[in-house]
Chain A
Amino acid sequence: MKILKYGTYVWVWVGLMILTGITVSVAGMDFGALSISVALIIAGVKSGLVLSYFMHLKYEKELIFKLMIPGILALLLLFIGIVFTDVAFR
Chain B
Amino acid sequence: MADNMEKHKDVTGSKIGMWLFLLSEILLFGGLFILYSAYRYKFPTDFHLAAGELDRVLGTFNTLILLTSSLTMALSISSMQKGKPRSSSLLLIATIFLGFLFIGNKYFEWAAKMEHGVYPNSPRLLGRPGGEVLFFGLYYAMTGLHGLHVLAGIILLAVMWILIRKERIHRADFMLLENSGLYWHLVDIIWIFLFPLFYLIT
Q: What separation, in Å, do the CA atoms of A24 and B73 have in the docked complex?
A: 25
Q: What separation, in Å, do the CA atoms of A27 and B185 have in the docked complex?
A: 25
- A76 CB to nearest B CB, Å: 5
Contact string against A for B residues 21-43, beta-carbon threshold 8 Å, 1 for contact and 0 otherwise: 00100110011001001100110
Which residue numbers of A lie inside 8 Å of B, CB to CB? 1, 3-4, 6, 9-10, 12-13, 16-17, 20, 23-24, 27-28, 30, 35-36, 39-40, 42-43, 46-47, 50-51, 53-55, 62, 64-65, 68, 72, 75-76, 79-80, 83-84, 87-88
- Residue from B38, B64, B82, B185 within 8 A of A20 (CB atoms): B64
- B160 CB to nearest A CB, Å: 16
Interface residues of A, dominant DSSP: helix
Could you tell me if A24 and B42 are in contact, using CB atoms closer than 8 angstroms?
A: no
13 contacts between A and B (CB under 8 A): A1-B178, A9-B74, A20-B60, A20-B63, A27-B56, A27-B202, A40-B196, A51-B189, A54-B70, A65-B19, A72-B26, A83-B38, A87-B41
Q: What separation, in Å, do the CA atoms of A30 and B67 have in the docked complex?
A: 26
- A23 CB to nearest B CB, Å: 6
Could you tell me if B75 and A6 are in contact, using CB atoms closer than 8 angstroms?
A: yes
Q: What separation, in Å, do the CA atoms of A24 and B19 have in the docked complex?
A: 30
- Residue from B34, B42, B181, B193 within 8 A of A80 (CB atoms): B34
Could you tell me if A47 and B12 are in contact, using CB atoms closer than 8 angstroms?
A: no
- Residue from A23, A54, A88 within 8 A of B73 (CB atoms): A54
- B14 CB to nearest A CB, Å: 12
Apart from A1-B81, A88-B41, what 8 extra A-B contacts exist at CB < 8 Å?
A3-B78, A12-B71, A16-B70, A23-B200, A43-B195, A54-B185, A72-B23, A76-B34
Known: A13-B71, A40-B196, A88-B41. A83 touches B56 (CB 8 A): no
Q: What separation, in Å, do the CA atoms of A62 and B12 have in the docked complex?
A: 9
Could you tell me if A24 and B192 are in contact, using CB atoms closer than 8 angstroms?
A: no
B residues 177-202 near A (Cβ < 8 Å) are 178, 181-182, 185-186, 188-189, 192-193, 195-197, 200-202
